[in-house]
Structure 1
Amino acid sequence: MTDLNIADEPEETKVERHASWAELFFDLVAAAGVAALTHALGSELGGAGLGLYALLYLTFWLSWTTFMLYGNVSAGQTHVVRLMIGMFGLGVMAASVPGVAHAVLGHGHDLRPLAVFAIAYLATRIYGAHSWRRSEVLLDFPVVQYSVGLLPWFISIWVEGGWKLTLWAVGVSLDLLLILVVSGNKLLEHAQARFTAQTTSRRRRRPGGPGGTGPVLQGVSVDSTHLSERLGLFVIIVLGESVVQVVNAASDARYGIGLLATALASFVLLAGLFGLSVVFGYAGLPHLRAGRISTRAALGLHCLVTGVVATLGVSLSSVVSHGSDPLPGPHRWLLCGAVAAYFTLGVVTGVASRSSDAQRTISRVITGIAVPLLLGLLATDVTSRTLVAYLALVVLAHLWFERRSAPAQGQV
């Protein structure tokens, strides 16, 4: 059995299904963890801060995806209590983020938040992996069946100093590698062989038991329609968190026409990304069309897109704070780099899903990637509100083009 494409089931077999209230509640708690990360990133924009943000963000995404896919496959048999326990684990992780950031970036001496974060992550991932029925093997997300990536985290509890974060990075890298290299067929074969060996071993210890090799494991895949909705909703929630950061920054700024213009440009930028990802995209991914890429590819691109969108909240709140002053170098590059990264992922999605011809791809590269990077390089003396206005115009240009070409692509 191979990986399914997003929304590639025959029309007659599809049953319309939407996210439950419990699933939406779960997404909000996961987004709270991402919000805690962006607040920590705002205090340190150096390489160490970005590296810590990326590492911790991936832990939240892996934990969220484990429970999200459990709800997706289990459908009406999902245990709400399991989701609530997963939410509590994510909440503990989120509450530990400021302490982790202070210990790592501020060279604090209290290392207890790192231990709390590691234990909460281990407990959340292990509990999420055990939510699946023993006879089922999820083909689209190997880390549910293989927990080798958690071993470095377990060791890190007893390790001091910088090696702790190194072990965390190794563990997350192992999980990502499993997602990339282990196919659905191989995953099912290995799981069946291991399950058969365990069953045979138990029967040898009980000679009077029945013969045979035991039950055959069943490979299960995701409900693509439900998955696309969950991915899109999470992007919307992260965009909303970015709006909250802009509002919070504006509440502390001096009122005036300049503040209104800055807030308006920031909102237009975020609303434009909503249009590209949700209105003219699919599963929260810009330029994606249904049934064009595999589930794993969609999950990977979703992880990157939401991570990039979350960083925009940090950049835009800094824009509101600086007002008529130019942005400092790190803040300017984070803002322009995040916009360029978003459009880079859009180009990858468009090419992978075959929704872009060569001319359209080249225009997206020039306007969506080259222009923001040039602004980051050259706009050293440009006011922060002017810079975000330029970037908002870039997004609006892409929206206009998508709206113009939508009828030809069958979009509403």
Structure 2
Amino acid sequence: MSDPIIADEPENTRIERHASWAELFFDLVAVAGVAALAHILGSELDLAALGLYTLLFLSFWLSWTTFMLYSNVAAGKTRVIRLMVGMFGLGVMVASVPGVAHSVLGHDGDSRPLTVFAIAYIATRVYGSRSWRRGEVLLDFPVVQYSTGLLPWTVSIWVDGQWKLVLWSVGIGLDLLLILVVSGDKILKQIQSRFTAQATTRRRRRPHARSDGDGAVIHGVSVDPVHFSERLGLFVIIVLGESVVQVIGAAADAHYDVGLLATGIASFVLLAGMFGLSVVFGYAGLPHLRAGRIPARAALGLHCLVTGVVATVAVSLSSVVKHGSDSLPDQERWLLCGAVAAYFALGVVTGVASHSSDLQRTISRIITGIVIPLLLGLLATDAGGRTLVVWMALVVLAHLWFERRLAPVQGRA
């Protein structure tokens, strides 16, 4: 048997394609999991709730990423049944979220929802990681093909109490660490070295054996950038749409008055403004980003943060609608102001990384998008929630106005 061939992905061999109906269907189920996390922050907001919210959000996002990258690379060879099985696994995870929240935050001692969630997560990730064709190594995001981070999750099935969450955190942390330090090119070289060593050993043992020339072929594959950016952008759009639905649901149970109307308008302006910054004046769902300026791995990491922040803003807006004209508790005020500030901080990062803003524009984004929301969180202790939402909406509108005025053409994705 001959040595394996390292085959790079040929350039300019892919035609531009768009997300399929099956992929959009899959995205909707994944976003349903993000929406279900409102059960966690919608009850009692503390560090435990924030930690659980972050942990479960990352588990949904990693599961979605595994299948999203598979369908991106497989293109026309994507197996719809594989996406459907992944959707079912995500559905089980979604259904388990209320029980997980009640078990952990309500301290009722019932660990069954946590076990169900863990099993569904493990099965979904493992099944997704086995989607790749033999010999393919994803250069941009190789962690989706390996299951190292799932080992602590597997151990957690036989552990009771808070140790389950500790093991989940270790597993997610391992995956995030691998995302940062593992290089697809390095893995490709390691596989090449291993196969070459094995072939050399076989030749030494059977020096007179005839090579059949049918050695294993190892492909280094990369994402389709157009389809990749579209999927990231669509996911952000669906999260924003689900955020609007959450606000509408909260308004349906509130007392109808002028204040509720003002809150609804301001909330819609805030979310629609985020759509404008992330999609119209951004790229891949990331505000102020330009095409081809950052690696796919960095775009995925920023996408995780942006979608998490947007989902958090939705929970905060729903809370404001429920509180009416009352001032928000300190934790909820900081959640709203901190989430908006985090969104604009990520916009500053993407703007600087993609060289889409000069020093003056970066400073103005920091002052209006980060400093003002944080000052409101610090000083507006007596301000009503509705007033805070109006302020946040004005901040977003100001950013949209500057983007339209300074970059009417270049900023459009």
TM-score if structure 2 supplies the norm length? 0.93
Matches within 5 A, 1:397-408: 397-407=398-408
Contact 2:246 2:318 in 1 (8 A): yes
**2 CA distance for matches of 1:406 and 1:261?**
30
Question: Aligned to 1:373, what secondary structure does the other structure show?
Answer: helix
Structure 2: 5+ residue stretches without partners: 1-5
How far is 1:210 from its partner?
6.5
Q: How many residues align?
A: 406
Residue 369 in structure 1 maps to residue 364 in structure 2? no
RMSD: 2.5
Are 2:282 and 2:411, in contact at CA under 8 Å, matched by a contact in 1?
no
Residue identity matched to 1:172: I
Structure 2 equivalent of residue 269 of structure 1? 270
Matches within 5 A, 1:338-357: 338-357=339-358
- Displacement of 1:193 in angstroms is 3.9
Match of 2:184 in 1: 184
Query: Per the alignment, in what secondary structure is the counterpart of residue 287 of structure 2?
Result: coil
Q: 1:62 to 1:160 in 2, by over 3 A?
A: same
Q: In structure 2, what residue type is equivalent to 1:313? A: A
Runs of at least 5 residues in structure 1 that lack an aligned partner in the other structure: none
* Aligned twin of 1:298: 299
The answer to whether the Cα contact below 8 Å between 1:276 and 1:286 also exists between their aligned partners in 2 is yes
Contact 2:281 2:411 in 1 (8 A): no
Deviation of 1:407 after TM superposition, in Å, equals: 3.4
Change in CA separation of 1:235 and 1:204 when aligned onto 2, cut-off 3 Å: farther
CA shift at 1:194, angstroms? 4.6
Q: Which amino acid counterpart does residue 122 of structure 1 have in structure 2? A: I
Look up the match of 1:322: 323
* Distance 1:117-1:348 versus aligned 2 partners, 3 A rule: same
Change over 3 Å in CA distance of 1:222–1:160 after alignment to 2:
same
SS at match of 2:131: coil
Aligned counterparts of 1:338 and 1:210: Cα–Cα separation in 2: 65
Whether the aligned pair in 1 keeps the contact of 2:57 and 2:308 (CA below 8 Å) is: yes
Distance 2:196 2:106 in 1: 51
In 1, Cα distance between equivalents of 2:37 and 2:150: 21
The range that moved more, 319-328 or 293-302, is 319-328
Q: Secondary structure at the match of 2:217?
A: coil
* Pairing of 1:159-308 with structure 2 (within 5 A): 159-194=159-194, 211=211, 214-308=215-309
Partner SS state of residue 398, structure 2:
helix
CA distance in structure 1 between the aligned counterparts of 2:118 and 2:107, rounded to whole angstroms: 18
Q: TM-score when scaled to structure 1?
A: 0.93
Aligned residue identity for 1:97 = V
Q: Give the SS at the match of 1:407.
A: coil
Do the aligned partners of residues 82 and 256 (structure 1) sit closer, same or farther apart at CA in structure 2, a change above 3 Å counting?
same
| CA shift for structure 1 position 311 | 0.6
Q: Which residue in 1 is equivalent to 2:63?
A: 63
Structure 2 counterpart of 1:361, one-letter code: T
Q: Letter of the 1:140 partner, please give it.
A: D
The share of aligned pairs that are identical, in percent, is 77
Secondary structure in 2 matching 1:217: strand
The match for 1:336 is 337
What are the superposed Cα offsets for residues 251-302 of structure 1, whole Å, 9 maximum, x if unpaired? 0011111110110000000000000000100000000000100000000000
Q: Does 2:390 match 1:389?
A: yes
